[in-house]
Chain A
């Protein structure tokens, strides 16, 4: 069964590379409490592991110790692991989910038991026959392997100097559970979820990631079936049956593997209408026409607002007819992308500018300076 959900999300990006802690994103996501139902929340942070910035930071979840052993022996075979530890959590924090709109909510709140949460800082360890594969491609195939072949293990994030913390529960509770306020980063993404069925699985929360890509998503991809089938031709395995996973892979294919500039890749994801393309100047028309011809199966159709981030930037974009909310704001070098203006105002009461981006028009924030690398973990 493919899961579908509504949600709220917020992205904060500091274009000067200045680090700030997770309290902002916590407050912003708490302001959008009504957009979640306690069945999932999560955060991505960039710049949080400066001391391991040259290592792939793997965040994994395991069902039990047995699976952890199995996955670790695979990781040890494929990677040189510099450091491994359980992800620190606030043990006293209890996570709940809202079971229904219940008359007696206190009784109706089942407690959530977290899975095993671990992180590994590692470099690739390729065999002779794998030497020709780029590090990133190598990591992608290993992530695919773990997610697909090792039952009960799942890679939450796999980029450098970034991490994703996500799970089942209300986003603001998860923020306390993961001690989000203790991390510092130049870019943050937060997400709260309202799934319409109850998978109750930690891997199913947002953000979804691959390498340093992190994607959060509010919407339902009506073109899911064909997006998935097209991606499969390029070796992606859509194991999670979620829309957001597909979005992550599409961006990876277009931007990392096909090397399209981000603004061009976004034109493939949410292309202009033919009636507008037909009126464009020759060069632009030929380009957009070619994008639609070649990448028609990757057009993401249906209501969505997505925020995706990578180590050097963050983008927010809506579907072609803006069927989900997305608001953007700017204050100095700091860019905000959110489901609601209230979340932006909560953490930045007087932004320089707040606007509603038009359908299919991306908001792009990129690093103008190198990020500040102070030790971020207190």
Chain B
């Protein structure tokens, strides 16, 4: 695992860290804090649920990624804020070691690394949302990000925020790109469903424009896998029932151990200029598989099952049942939506023969599973009936070459021939 924790100012006193509105995927732009589950002075451990958020992905349990003491609550519910807004601060129990941070999509790191800790010490609680002071210009994080994207010089603009801080709305009239303006406006006006639709539109458009996708597929014989499943499920109670998807995910995880180049993040070096030299692929040893789950009311969420390579089939089934249930009930955890290292879309159940997904940045690959079909196959000059499905792969050509992708798919197909070994 190559993690490159950001350089922080070390000091002998407890180090402060900002807790921000998380980006739960590249398609999320803002979230609503609906409830704090901690108060100032509370001790928390990494992984504790500290707040409840309402997002384009439904209600989310927000976790904290460090252990320490909550020193300040800066934002009171109920309030909608852009991704990256500082919600609270935590005094770290130990010097920062940002394991989770290193696998968080680098969507929103514009401000984080360049802010010395000393400067973020609280002076004015009232303007907390906006007091990230990098230069002399006050601006909200999303305005800053937009300004960077659109190369707008913020100096001299007086915004409508507290103390003249520049807000997103102050910048929208300056945007030259009308389409972008319209989509941004829409995003803030629509219903939740419309929000989700727009969020998907923005994220997927960006992915398709930035990532040089290439696609390949193989037809895999899953007759033995299906037989194995039938034996397993014939008499077992529903809670022990195994579905094909679990075998596919397990085989995928095992294949990624062998072909780790498909598992990780393509990181943009946004602290530098626009030159691509700083961009690099960060291979990740943990295998967290994001599963595209369609929400019944429309839209989708992509919660991850963690460390799939280390789970038994039974544990994996529990994980799948669990995320499906919580996607419906609104208790997905923030980390589950942030740290997938690869994604799977399973269209088979809905009757499509194959699906070629759009990569979810900063990941570099998405697998597609099609529906199970009966075919006639020639085996030793005889015709036999076999069950097959199409495995597809969309991959990022900046990181992966066709030959590697083909080897990977064939390895995965081979793994599925021995379901009892998964």
Our verdict on whether A and B bind, yes or no, reads: no
Q: Which residues of A come within 8 Å of B, CB atoms? A: none
